[in-house]
Amino acid sequence: MKTAVVVSAHSADFVWRAGGAIALHAAAGWAVTVVCLSYGERGESAKLWRQPGMTLERVKTERQGEAERAAAALGVADIQFWDLGDYPIGLDKQALFRLVDVYRRVRPGFILTHSKADPYNHDHPAVTDFALHARVTAQAHGHNPGEPVLGAPQVFLFEPHQPEQCSWVPEVYLDIGSVWDRKRAAIECMAGQGHLWDYYTRVGQQRGAQAARNSDKPIVWGEAYQRVFPDVRDALA
């Protein structure tokens, strides 16, 4: 069975940024694992914190519920909540080896995670570095010797909120027209961030229009990614 791993800094990132890719591959039979390193409970839950008497635990519970419902809408096979804290996120060696274990167990065909830079968000690029570090470590024969090591799965970086400020460039466009309704349904699970629903719907339309322009195909909804590693192919087209 084909598999993929999504490494999401906060529990909603996988929806806005990779919901289309997740739904598309899930619909094609892939088992997609989503690792939510934190809930985004401190830094990305403004609306919840405006409710009287809100507590950190209640924010986490709400955010987990939202993410689980979104994951169901997208067809995610396994969603994990590691509760490492956010703003700043707590990425220690124990968490690193835990992600190595996930990579080795799942053996993903590809990995999705954040952009390399983001002046608006300190957790996102830290997670990118962490997800890449875990990939390298999972390839080391001396880490838990005897376990099969990881191969060389591509890592795709999903779209940050303000792409040009993050030195992020779309290198791969994905036609997500066949699953757009699922992505929108997942987006609508994010009750706490309603102001982003239309923003990311328009992102889908713009990336769709650009995908059409770059392919001469009638694509309407798109998601864009940056590659970390070169692409190895048997033919150029």
Name the minimum Å distance from CB 133 to its own copies. Answer: 5
Question: Which CB sits closer to its own copies, 82 or 87?
Answer: 87
Of 197, 181, 6, 207, whose CA–CA distance to 110 is shortest? Answer: 6
Of 228, 230, 201, 212, whose CA–CA distance to 175 is shortest? Answer: 212
Specify burial of residue 44 (Cβ count, 10 A radius: 0-12, 13-18, 19+): buried
Name the minimum Å distance from CB 211 to its own copies. Answer: 5
Question: Which CB sits closer to its own copies, 43 or 105?
Answer: 43
Name the minimum Å distance from CB 189 to its own copies. Answer: 20
Q: Tokens at residue 65, please?
A: 């519920």
Question: Which CB sits closer to its own copies, 80 or 165?
Answer: 165
Torsions phi, psi for 82 (to 5 deg): -95, -10
Question: Which CB sits closer to its own copies, 70 or 192?
Answer: 192
Using CA atoms, how far apart are residues 173 and 163, in angstroms rounded to an integer? 14
Name the minimum Å distance from CB 137 to its own copies. Answer: 5
Biggest distance spanned by C-alpha atoms of the chain: 59
